Chains A and B, each alone.
Chain A
Amino acid sequence: MRKLLLTAVIAALVPFGLHAQTASDLMKGSQKDTANVLNYGMGYDLQRFSPLTQVNRDTVKHLVPVWNYSYDDNKSEESQPLVYNGVLYVTTNAATMALNAKTGEQIWKSKIEYPDETPRIVCCGIINRGAALYEGKIFRTTLDAFVVAMDAKTGKELWRSHAIDFKDGYSMTVAPLIADGVVLTGISGAEYGIRGFIDGWDPDTGKHLWRTYTVAGPDDPNGKTWPGDTYQHGGGSTWITGSFDPDLHTVYWGTGNAGSWNPTTHPGDNLYTCSVLALDPKTGKIKWHFQFSPNDPYDYDSVAEMVLADLNIGGKPTKVLMDTNRNGFFYVLDRTNGKLITANQYITKQTWAKGIDEGGRPIASEITDKVRQGQEQDVWPGAMGGKNWSPVSYNPGTGLVYANTLNFGMHYKPTTPEFRAGLTYWGADITWIWPDGPRGGLKAIDPMTGKAKWEAPSDIPRFSGVLSTAGGVVFSGKLTGELEAFDADNGKKLWQFKTGSGVEGQPVTWQQDGVQYIAVSSGIGGVYTLFSGDERLSQVPAGGSLWVFALAPQ
């Protein structure tokens, strides 16, 4: 009888185990589970590193496409694919799709509808950055600010929760994070006068569990860093997925720029904009915060990925958080307490700060002092920063962070914006200042010094994610369409393949039935394409699709 009962229990659990992603599955990440890609960032640490070695610096020249899948979409394709048990899940702004990871055959496609007016409150590309998987469900956000859960087997919608009214400038492009059994989502819209936040949702029902504002209000002691009611349009968007340390039960989520850009409209530190928040995922309570750019005039937002690693610092293993910040400095923090370990300039030119003091506060340059007095100035880096949203990769083997960096400045003229719901709330007129040479480069950065071991420059800067592997290869894409592979040790170009549009996606890798695959989305239309005025991209057609590569059989 006992044997029969045990058999029945196992029989009941098998299908669940096959189709459900448990919390412990999510904790493995791609470093311990090379058959799947279950997390945004390929692991809770957002390292985007794989221990796979079949594709390596010697074999990568044999990499060939094995299938291509049309997104039937002409927007920027920045979504990171997920892979679970041979099924690849990927999103666009207009659909969620499940594909056979080996053949590219479509298993299901679930379309997303949003009002025609929605794109007018999206500043920098009509996009979606990906989904999250948990216990047989797939979660995503929509441009008109809904969070949606679907059955991962069928694509059938299970619940749909409304975060906030898009007509007030709020939109959602972020890939959700599952941490301690809670679905976490961020928000976009700091250029539209929003008040940013991070939300927690019940994965089973879509019930709203908590909201933590990234712009401190009167009920928060740090609300005094905002004069009057300026916090109500204070920005602080949260459109890149946070990292998570399951041992510390802490989520690390970056926050965006202050609204408006003009710092004279809100004198003060403007907490918690341009910061990283350490949160309890179950309650949203802020454990600590660290602000990179107080009273930011330049759109040096800090939403981009907070990479977690254990580094040996002074002979001591240390739990760190690394941020290749848009302000041009590379930060290493102690993630147990938010204290600065080191911050060093990683870009060629910056003129807004004399440096970072021991406490982590920037020392303003004369240029920034003048801007804060309301004057026009030339400043480096420009509003797209030293690195934009494009996620870096950290290779624990080489100890280097591989980052698509930018090299251009701007002429900055503060203006006084008037808030109108649903319209931009910039607060500055800017004109780009271009360098004579390349506008960007893929750099291999030493996190403790900010110095680059090598750089692969690019006339038109790269805006794609980066992937590195134990095979000694670094992958990234170009806006002109090439997916490229570089030697992780010296930056030597090893391979490239020209896709049909510009690559702004996030490459991932996994191994299935003895074959290592590499996938990346192609599809131009993000912030640089729209906002730079770079006419050299006029011969790069729009058109989103997913490319998957493997070594050609020898």
Chain B
Amino acid sequence: MRFAACLIVGFSLCAFLVSARSQTTPDPPPSPQQFGKGSELFAQICSHCHGPHMVNPGTASFDLRKFPHDDRQRFFNSVSNGKKAMPPWKDVLHPDEIEAVWAYVRTGGVEPQ
């Protein structure tokens, strides 16, 4: 019984650590190729609400320059399922397209050298 309790605590701790890592460990910096694809998709699909090159006043729509670069899960969830004024996109955007936009958002709109 004590062993089982230890196992549960151990698994919980592992799950917590994995979850904490996914929340806090930043993805590797985007490559110029990812930036190119992401900026193209952003201009086509996102820019008319979030502003050209992500520049907007941040009042009528979210200022993506302020999006935490280590919160991949929140980004994918917001884009896929929608949040507040953001509509859900999962039925029309492929996961690799969301991935490309996520890479672009992490550049802050500045092309990596």
Contact = CB atoms under 8 A, between A and B. Distances in A.
Interface stretch (A47-55, A112-120, A385-393, A507-515): A112-120
B57 A120 contact: no
Contacts of A531: 47-48, 51-52
B85 A126 contact: yes
A540 interface: yes
Contacts of A420: 92
A190 B66 CA distance: 31
A538 B44 contact: no
A530 B56 contact: yes
B47 to A, nearest CB: 7
B95 to A, nearest CB: 16
A386 to B, nearest CB: 20
Given A424-B45, A426-B44, A530-B60, A116 B88 contact: yes
A191 B91 CA distance: 20
Nearest to B93: A423
B60 A542 contact: yes
Nearest to B89: A120
Q: Which of B48, B49, B59, B92 has the most C-beta atoms of chain A within 10 angstroms of its own C-beta?
A: B59
B102 to A, nearest CB: 17
A431 B53 CA distance: 9
A74 B62 CA distance: 13
Interface string A517-548: 00000001100011111111110111000000
Contacts of B82: 116-117
Contacts of B91: 117
Interface string B45-74: 101111111011111110000000000000
B59 A538 contact: yes
A423 B58 contact: no
Contacts of A533: 51-53, 55-56
Interface in A111-136: 116-120, 123-124, 126
A403 B100 CA distance: 42
B51 A118 contact: no
A423 B49 CA distance: 14
A185 interface: no
Contacts of A75: 60, 85
Given A116-B82, A117-B91, A118-B87, A124 B48 contact: yes
A408 interface: no
B28 to A, nearest CB: 27
A422 B92 contact: yes
B59 A116 contact: no
Contact of B59 (A118, A120, A426, A541): A541
A424 B48 contact: yes
Tell me the interface secondary structure of chain A in the complex: loop
Contacts of A431: 52
Tell me the interface secondary structure of chain B in the complex: loop
Interface residues of B, number: 24
A424 B47 CA distance: 11
A540 to B, nearest CB: 6
Given A74-B85, A120-B87, A531-B52, A525 B44 contact: no
Interface string B29-56: 0000000000000011101111111011
A532 B48 CA distance: 9
Nearest to B56: A533
Contacts of B47: 531
A290 interface: no
Q: Which of B48, B58, B85 has the most C-beta atoms of chain A within 10 angstroms of its own C-beta?
A: B48
A76 B60 contact: yes
B103 to A, nearest CB: 19
A429 interface: yes
B112 to A, nearest CB: 19
A537 B61 CA distance: 12
Contact of A537 (B48, B57, B85): B57
A423 B44 contact: yes
Contacts of A191: 48
A432 interface: yes
Contacts of B53: 533
Given A530-B60, A538-B58, A424 B44 contact: yes
B20 to A, nearest CB: 31
Contacts of A530: 48-51, 56, 60-61
Interface in A86-142: 116-120, 123-124, 126
Nearest to B59: A542
Nearest to A425: B44
A431 B109 CA distance: 14
Contacts of B57: 529, 534-538, 540
B35 to A, nearest CB: 15
Contacts of B59: 524-525, 529, 537-538, 540-542
B88 A117 contact: yes
A117 B92 CA distance: 10
Nearest to B91: A117
Interface in A205-225: none
A191 B57 CA distance: 23
Contacts of B45: 423-424
Contacts of A120: 87, 89, 92
A124 B58 CA distance: 15
B98 to A, nearest CB: 13
Contacts of B61: 525, 530
Contacts of A423: 44-45, 92
15 contacts: A119-B85, A120-B87, A120-B92, A126-B85, A191-B48, A423-B45, A426-B43, A426-B44, A429-B43, A529-B59, A529-B60, A530-B61, A531-B51, A535-B55, A542-B60
